[in-house]
C-alpha cells in the first residue's frame, strides 16, 4: 500500500511539474525569413579548356568548393559552399562586397594553407620519399648529384581552380516584384597542375626488369590558387613506370609546375632518374638531363593545355646472368649510369 501511494505521489509531482513548465515558457517559432540574405548563382564555364587525359574538363571533380571572401572584412574566415557537379549552384550571402575562389573538392593528396586571404591560398602536398613514389621496396635509393637536398613531395591530384572579380550585394536593389534579384557570377576553372608524360624508347632487356620507377628534380612545391603562379623553391617528385611495349617505358605523373620566380636567364635544372631492379636482384639507376625539354614547355596559366612531353632514346639496361653468361651484377649496391638524351 505504501509503495502504491509513493508511486502515485511521484506521478502527480511529474504531472504538476510538466504543467508548470508548459504554462510558464513562451515558445517562439524559428525565423525562416531570409529577406536579409541575397542569392548568388555560381556558374562554372568550362568552355575553352583543351586539356587532355586526366586534366580534361569532362573528368573534372565530382564537385566544386566555393569560398566567398568578404572584402570589407580582411582576414575573416571565408564562407564556404560545396556545390556538387560541374555546373555550379545557388547560395545565400549577407550584404557586402565579395570575391569568390573555387576548386574541386574530391582530391586526396592536396592540402591547403593561407585560407584567410584569397591571394594567399596555396595548394601543396605532403613530404614523401623516393621509395614511396616509385613503390620500390628498397631503402637508401640514390639521388642525382646536386638534388640530394631537394625535398621529395607527393604527386598532386588533378586540381582545378577559378576566381571571380569583386561583386557587391545590396538589399535595397529590388525588382518590380519587390524581390531581391539573384546575382550571377560566372567562373572559368582551369587546371592548377601540369601533366607530364615521359617516353623512353629503345630499352633493351626490358623483360628482365622486376621493378622500375623514376624521379624528376627541380619542380615547384605548390601553386597559388588565385593567380595559378607556382610557389618558390625546388622539390623532387617520384613516380612509377610501366612498359607499354617490348622496348618502351612510359612514366605519367602530375606536377604543380617548375622554375618559379627565377631571375631572367636563370632556371632550375631537371634531372630524370630512372630506377630499375632486375630479376637477378641487381639494382641500377640512370640519370638523364631533361632540362631543355622541360623548358621547351613554358608554363602559361592562361593556356589550358597543361601538358609536358619528354622523349628519351635509349636506356642501357643490362642482361642479367643466365647460365653463367651475361653482365655480372653487384647485388649489394646501386650502380649508376649517366646517359645522353638521344631525342
Tell me the domain boundaries of the chain.
38-339
Set of cell numbers at residue 84: 556538387
The values of phi and psi at residue 192, to 5°, are: -105, 5
Percent of the chain whose predicted confidence (pLDDT) is above 70: 73
The model's confidence at residue 217, banded by pLDDT at 50, 70 and 90, is very high
Is the pLDDT score of 131 beyond 70? yes
Q: Which residues have a Cβ under 8 Å from the Cβ of 125 and sit 6 or more positions away?
A: 109, 110, 111, 153, 154, 155, 156
- Residue 12: what pLDDT? 47
Lowest mean pLDDT among 227-236, 262-271, 327-336: 327-336
Name which of 162, 166, 32, 171 is nearest 93 in CA terms: 171
The model's confidence at residue 13, banded by pLDDT at 50, 70 and 90, is low
The model's confidence at residue 297, banded by pLDDT at 50, 70 and 90, is low
Tell me if 21 sits within 8 A of 77, measured CB to CB.
no
Query: Once rounded to an integer, what is the mean pLDDT over residues 95-99?
Result: 96
Give me the chain's average pLDDT, please.
82
Is the pLDDT score of 9 beyond 90? no
**Buried b / exposed e across 64-92, counting CB within 10 Å, b at 16+?**
bbbbbbbeeeeeeebbebebeebebbebe
- Residue 47: what pLDDT? 82
Tell me if 219 sits within 8 A of 255, measured CB to CB.
yes
d(CA 158, CA 192): 8
Amino acid at each position: 500500500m505504501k509503495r502504491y501511494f509513493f508511486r502515485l505521489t511521484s506521478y502527480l509531482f511529474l504531472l504538476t511539474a510538466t504543467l508548470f513548465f508548459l504554462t510558464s515558457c513562451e515558445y517562439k517559432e524559428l525565423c525562416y525569413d531570409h529577406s536579409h540574405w541575397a542569392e548568388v548563382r555560381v556558374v562554372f564555364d568550362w568552355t575553352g579548356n583543351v586539356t587532355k587525359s586526366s586534366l580534361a574538363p569532362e573528368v573534372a571533380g565530382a564537385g566544386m568548393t566555393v569560398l566567398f571572401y568578404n572584402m570589407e572584412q580582411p582576414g575573416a574566415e571565408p564562407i564556404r559552399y560545396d556545390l556538387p557537379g560541374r555546373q555550379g549552384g545557388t547560395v545565400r550571402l549577407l550584404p557586402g562586397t565579395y570575391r569568390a575562389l573555387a576548386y574541386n573538392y574530391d582530391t586526396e593528396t592536396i592540402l591547403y594553407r593561407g585560407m584567410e586571404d584569397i591571394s594567399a591560398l596555396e595548394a601543396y602536398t605532403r613530404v614523401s620519399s623516393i621509395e614511396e613514389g616509385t613503390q620500390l621496396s628498397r631503402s637508401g635509393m640514390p639521388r642525382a648529384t646536386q638534388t640530394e637536398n631537394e625535398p621529395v613531395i607527393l604527386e598532386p591530384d588533378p586540381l582545378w581552380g577559378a576566381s571571380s572579380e569583386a561583386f557587391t550585394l545590396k538589399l535595397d536593389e529590388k525588382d518590380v516584384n519587390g524581390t531581391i534579384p539573384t546575382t550571377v557570377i560566372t567562373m572559368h576553372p582551369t587546371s592548377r597542375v601540369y601533366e607530364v608524360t615521359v617516353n623512353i624508347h629503345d630499352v633493351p632487356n626490358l623483360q628482365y626488369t622486376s621493378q622500375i620507377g623514376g624521379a624528376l628534380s627541380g619542380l615547384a612545391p605548390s601553386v597559388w590558387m588565385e593567380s595559378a603562379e607556382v610557389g618558390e623553391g625546388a622539390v623532387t617528385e617520384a613516380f612509377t613506370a610501366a612498359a607499354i611495349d617490348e622496348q618502351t617505358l612510359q612514366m605519367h605523373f602530375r606536377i604543380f609546375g617548375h622554375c618559379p620566380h627565377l631571375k631572367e636567364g636563370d632556371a632550375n635544372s631537371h634531372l630524370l632518374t630512372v630506377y630499375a631492379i632486375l630479376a637477378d636482384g641487381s639494382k641500377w639507376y640512370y640519370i638523364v638531363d631533361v632540362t631543355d625539354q622541360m623548358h621547351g614547355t613554358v608554363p602559361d596559366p592562361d593556356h589550358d593545355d597543361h601538358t609536358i612531353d619528354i622523349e628519351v632514346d635509349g636506356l642501357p639496361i643490362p642482361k642479367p646472368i643466365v647460365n653463367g653468361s651475361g653482365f655480372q651484377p653487384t647485388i649489394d649496391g646501386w650502380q649508376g649510369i649517366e646517359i645522353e638524351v638521344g631525342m
